[in-house]
Amino acid sequence: MSMRRIYSRVQSFPSPESDTLSPLSKQFDQSCLPKLENLHQLQGSLISAECLSKILDAAIVAQKLGMRLAMDAISPTTGSKSDWKFINCYLDSSVLLLDACNNVQLRLDSIRSCLGLISIGLHYLEGEHESSGVILQRVVESLDFSRFRDKHQCTKIEKRMSRMRTFGKKLSGKTLAYKDTGDIISPELYKALTSSLAMAVLAIRVLSYATSFRPPTNQCAQPPTDERWAMLLNELSNKMKVSPKKANDIASMEELARTEVAAQALLKLISSWQKGGNSSFRRMAVKAVAGELRRRKDELEKALPLLEEKIGEFYKQIVALRINMLGLLSKAQREDVFAMVEPFSSEENQTDTNPKQLQSRVAWDVVKRKMIGRSCSLGRIRPYCIGLIKGKIIKLSSLNI
């Protein structure tokens, strides 16, 4: 996912300038910047579940502090037109992040299914006696169906990333800032939403590709150059850039990659048994490889719960930030910030051409339609993505907003 696409929408607005930083803004920098700097220590073509967890931790902190900073930056009565339109942009963009979180969770469920098949295959090989042809065939079938390289999943990821790029192009073509009137975005709001969104995109992108064995492409970033956090994101994105021709340099999840290698090694070894050879040596080789596969499988099984927990918390914080921004828009409407006017009569329609009133009505109509749609979409949140048991009713009060 290109970071340029995410920031293209932001760059449609006048660049906010601020000589002073609020205490919350300083706290944001002090909390998020060290985490970003630590991520620069990532090296090699494999990334451990622990490192993925740290990336999610950084994204979670960014969402929490971003929400506090955004809520402190403006109020329903002080927000400018650009502020409200900027919030609308964020809400539209974050929908794709929630969808990506759901798909990562489904990917982890698929990995669990593969581990179940591996367990079945290993169970068939237990015992000291020579395995029969039927048993070996069952082992081959189990290992063959347990492949982690899901082509359909890779295609879904590519489509999802492409959709986000298309969405960014569409937004970058619109001019929502009122430059002529000097109506600019609140610098604190700008910083809160762009940084939290950028961190979220980084986490989702890394996690999606790490669990899919698919090399990321077009990852160059071009964030605003006047923010230290933005520069760190840019450098980190460039560091993770991978050429499609260098498949061995793909940053895959370490525990997943090693389990895949061990499973395929055992599959090839068992598939070659029909060629004959020393029976004792064959049993020793299979026993050794099967033992290695069992260890790798156990490591992966231990790593998955932590990732699932972090993804659930990450999803929960994105939802919380969205609900708070929707709340601001709703309060702004109740405070008549949009200067809503009564519906025109037929006579007034013919005589009243006040551009301010027409502009206010159109602006609120657009926001109102989006608010209704977003409120309905909250009822479709996947329970397990926010740490709840499947089948439970989601209560917004449980989100600790």
Q: How do residues 77-106 score in pLDDT, each as one tens digit?
A: 777 777 887 788 788 878 888 888 888 898
Q: How confident is the model at residue 328 (pLDDT cuts 50, 70, 90)?
A: confident
Which position has the higher pLDDT, 122 or 132? 122
Q: What backbone torsions phi and psi does residue 278 show, to the nearest 5 degrees? A: -65, 125
Q: Which amino acid is at 135?
A: I
Q: How confident is the model at residue 204 (pLDDT cuts 50, 70, 90)?
A: confident
Residue 267: the pLDDT is 82
Q: Is the pLDDT of residue 123 over 50?
A: yes
Question: How many angstroms separate the CA atoms of 23 and 303, rounded?
Answer: 37
Q: Mean of the pLDDT values across residues 317-334? A: 85
Per-residue tokens: 270: 């068992």
Q: Helix/strand/coil (H, E, C) string of the chain? A: CCHHHHHHHHCCCCCCCCCCCCHHHHHHHHHHHHHHHHHCCCCCCEECHHHHHHHHHHHHHHHHHHHHHHHHHCCCCCCCHHHHHHHHHHHHHHHHHHHHHHHHHHHHHHHHHHHHHHHHHHHHCCCCCCCCHHHHHHHHHHHHHCCCCCHHHHHHHHHHHHHHHHHHHHHHCCCCCECCCCECCCHHHHHHHHHHHHHHHHHHHHHHHHCCCCCCCCCCCCCCCCCHHHHHHHHHHHHCCCCCCCHHHCCEEHHHHHHHHHHHHHHHHHHCHHHCCCHHHHHHHHHHHHHHHHHHHHHHHHHHHHHHHHHHHHHHHHHHHHHHHHHHHHHHHHCCCCCCCCCCCHHHHHHCCCHHHHHHHHHHHHHHHHHHHHHHHHHHCCHHHHCCCCCCCCCHHHHCC
The 10s digit of each residue's pLDDT in 191-201 is 788 778 878 87
Q: Mean of the pLDDT values across residues 230-254? A: 51
Q: Is the pLDDT of residue 52 over 60?
A: yes
Q: Is the pLDDT of residue 43 over 80?
A: no
Residue 127: the pLDDT is 63
Tally the domains of the chain: 1
Q: What is the residue range of 141's domain?
A: 3-399
Residue 313: the pLDDT is 94
* CA pseudo-torsion sign 75, 76, 80, 82: positive
Residue 337: the pLDDT is 55
Per-residue tokens: 303: 């790593």
Burial class (CB in 10 A: 0-12, 13-18, 19+), 20: exposed
Question: How many angstroms separate the CA atoms of 141 and 114, rounded?
Answer: 12
Residue 129: the pLDDT is 56
Residue 145: the pLDDT is 59
Highest average pLDDT, of 208-217, 218-227, 296-305, 333-342, comes from: 296-305
Q: Which amino acid is at 262?
A: A
23-60 as b/e: b if 16+ CB within 10 A: ebbeebbeebeebbeebeebeeebbbbebbbbbbebbb
Q: Is the pLDDT of residue 298 over 90?
A: yes
Residue 94: the pLDDT is 81
Residue 197: the pLDDT is 80
